[in-house]
Amino acid sequence: MHTRLILYIAYSLKASLRYQRCKAFFYDLLENPQSNLKSYFDIFMICLVISSISLLLYEVEHQTFKWAAIFERFVVTVFIIEYLLRGWVYSDIHSAIIKQHENSEYLGTPFRLHNVLGEILAEKFSYIFSPSAIIDLLAILPSYRPLRILRIFLVFRLLKLFRYSQSIQMFTGVLRNKRFELSMLAIFMGFLIFIASTAIYMFENEKMGGQINNLYDAFYWAVVTMSTVGYGDLTPVTQGGRLVTTALIISGLGLMAFFTSIMVAAFSEKMNEFQQDRVKASIEKLDNSTIVCGFGRVGQDIARQLQEDQQSFVIIDNNEQHIALAKHQGYIALFDDATQNSTLTQAGINQGAKAILCATGDDVANVYITLTSRYLNPDITIIARASHEDNVKKMHQAGASYTVQSYTIAGLLAAEYIGHPVAFEAINGILHGQQDVQMEVLNVHSGCFLDGKSIEQANFAQYKARLIGVASKNPVHARRRNRYKLRNQHFYFNPDSSFILYQGDILVLIGRHLGIEYLHDLIATSCLHKQQGKSL
């Protein structure tokens, strides 16, 4: 009977979306390192711990206030709730029950509740006995009145800070990695202290005229001397005692050097990893980013423009100097081979990236990166740089959305200069955004104020902008003059005033930044109004 009830509860929990959502929320809040909620919660807890400890220190010398007791009670309540929630989030009881039940169904064996119970308890105990859970518990216990004696453990609250600060976690991580070296050192140190303290006790006891009265004194002296602190409160007087001291000081120096070198090595080993982790974490937060492969002349120039436009981007390069330069400029940079799937995945090709630029100077690498990127993400925009005309086709075959032929356009541009230098400069200025005048495309969205209007009615002149043409797929315009084929649509150059605009048409305008921006906003707001009107 009990078993059936428990199974019923387990299955209904599994099916309950609200329960799952609730648990996911608390997981994000407490444990998920990627969630923003956790960072807010951590800051809140750090403040709580510090203020409760400050209050404790204040109470040492001052009278307690009534509100202090209330605050203490609040802090402890938060700690208890946190402790229990962590225990709850740690593992899923219902899935353990369901798994066991399904296993026994499959094997045809009877379902025994106590087996599952054992498993669940083992899992929960592993939480209870994890170091951080023990610290959490010790931070709570002293507040329980009968355990007032444990007040000293309130200091454990400070240890709770470990949980909430990444840099402290990093430090413990480093120590954990050097466990072997550190334990070797501890054993050696133990021996040394043991030998030194027995020797000094033998030479410097009261009977010999020394100051070491007991073994505890000897131990204290050995530690103080070995660490090269040497307070001088206990000093050797006998010949033998001085000899032991000399030997201990020398070995102490070696020991300290050994300890320092282990720590330094551990940190320098880990530092790269931490930096990479930090880069990864910052990439994960990016949205609508561009991946720039290759940080040579072209890559650098593109990065500068992206930075000026405040667009997010990630740089990948396998040249150490290039990466150092990128980091120096404060860009997010990955030192890795961009042709590898893992590198591109790490750069966020499937997460936040909208486009990838293959800007290395090597066509072979660019083709390979294009191919890899297209394989990883069929929808991403890929812009590939081609140094040789012959490779353009290969790049398109590999999946490039657009190619840029660096030498070809330079040659074309140079030829253009002959004949009309003024026009060339004008277009060049617009192209490079050097002037306030810009060429811009605006989409006619469904329901916006331009939809269904003729060009005469739209009157772009009032925005100090002029219409060069309209790009459209709409077959309605097919009979208009000045039609030029453009991929899967047509470009209508210099449309006459009776040309009627429809949704999906793309306007190509020339005008000042201010006017075009205004027109853009006008289109967007008129769309919104229409949508709101519909929904009402």
Partner 1 sequence: MSHSLIAVFGFNSMSFELITQLIAKQHTLIILDDDPAKINQALEKGLPAQLMDYRQDDDLIALGIGARVATLFCFLEMDSENVFLTLSARVLDKNLTIISVVNRPESAEKLLAAGATKIIDPFEICSNKAYQLLNKPSITWILDEVVFGRADLNMAEVNIPEHSSLDQSYASELYLNEKYNLFLIGVVDKELGDKLYFSLGEQDHKLDAGDILVVLGSNRDIRKFKKEIGVINDAI
> Which residues, numbered 502-531, are part of the site for partner 1 (CB under 8 A)?
506, 508, 510-512, 515
Interface with partner 1 by CB under 8 A: which range of 17-25, 127-135, 235-243, 439-447? 439-447
Query: Site map for partner 1, 24-43, x if CB under 8 A?
Result: --------------------
Whether 336 and 346 have beta carbons less than 8 Å apart is answered as yes
Q: Is 498 in the site for partner 1 (CB under 8 A)?
A: no
309 near partner 1, rule: CB under 8 A: yes
Q: What sign results for the dihedral spanned by CA atoms 293, 298, 300, 303? A: negative
How many other β-carbons are positioned within 10 Å of the β-carbon of residue 334? 23
Query: Which 158-217 positions form the footprint of partner 1 (CB under 8 A)?
Result: none
Query: Smallest distance, Å, CB 10 to partner 1?
Result: 52
Q: Does 287 bind partner 1 (CB under 8 A)?
A: no
Other C-beta atoms closer than 10 Å to the C-beta of 499 total: 21
Considering the complex, state which of residue 306 and residue 458 has its C-beta at the smaller distance from partner 1: 306
314 touches 347 (CB < 8 A): yes
Instruction: Kindly report the backbone phi and psi dihedral angles of residue 291, in degrees, each rounded to the nearest multiple of 5, phi listed first.
Output: -100, 120
Q: Smallest distance from the beta carbon of 177 to partner 1, in angstroms?
A: 42
Rounded to a whole number of angstroms, the minimum distance from the CB of residue 344 to partner 1 is 17
Q: Of 128, 298, 365, 392, which lies in the binding site for partner 1, with binding defined by CB under 8 A?
A: 298
Residue 69 touching partner 1 (CB under 8 A): no
Number of residues counted as binding partner 1 (CB under 8 A): 71
Q: Which 8-state DSSP code applies to residue 63?
A: P
Is residue 465 part of the contact set for partner 1 (CB under 8 A)? yes
| 9, 229, 237, 461: which one binds partner 1 (CB under 8 A) | 461
Q: Is 473 in the site for partner 1 (CB under 8 A)?
A: no
Q: Strand ranges (DSSP E) for 318-363? A: 332-335, 353-358
Task: Report which DSSP code applies to 233.
Answer: S
Q: Which of 22, 47, 84, 426 binds partner 1 (CB under 8 A)?
A: 426
Q: Per CB under 8 A, which region of 21-29, 238-246, 255-263, 301-309 contacts partner 1?
A: 301-309
Task: Specify the DSSP element, H or E, that contains 181.
Answer: helix 179-204
Q: What secondary structure letter does DSSP report for 499?
A: P
Tell whether residue 338 is a contact of partner 1 (CB under 8 A): no
Find the shortest distance in angstroms from Cβ 33 to partner 1: 32
- For 528, residues 6+ apart whose C-beta sits below 8 A from its C-beta are none
Contact with partner 1 (CB under 8 A) among 24, 70, 237, 410 = 410
- The rounded distance, in Å, linking the Cα atoms of 211 and 228 is 19
Name the minimum Å distance from CB 27 to partner 1.
37
In angstroms, the CA 287 to CA 492 distance is 35
Residue of 380, 391, 385, 376 whose CA lies nearest to 409:
385
**Out of 404, 474, 480, 524, which residue is the one contacting partner 1 (CB under 8 A)?**
404
Q: Does 340 bind partner 1 (CB under 8 A)?
A: no
Let me know if 423 is exposed, middle or buried by CB neighbors in 10 A (0-12, 13-18, 19+). Answer: exposed
How far from each other are the two terminal CA atoms of the chain, in whole angstroms? 54
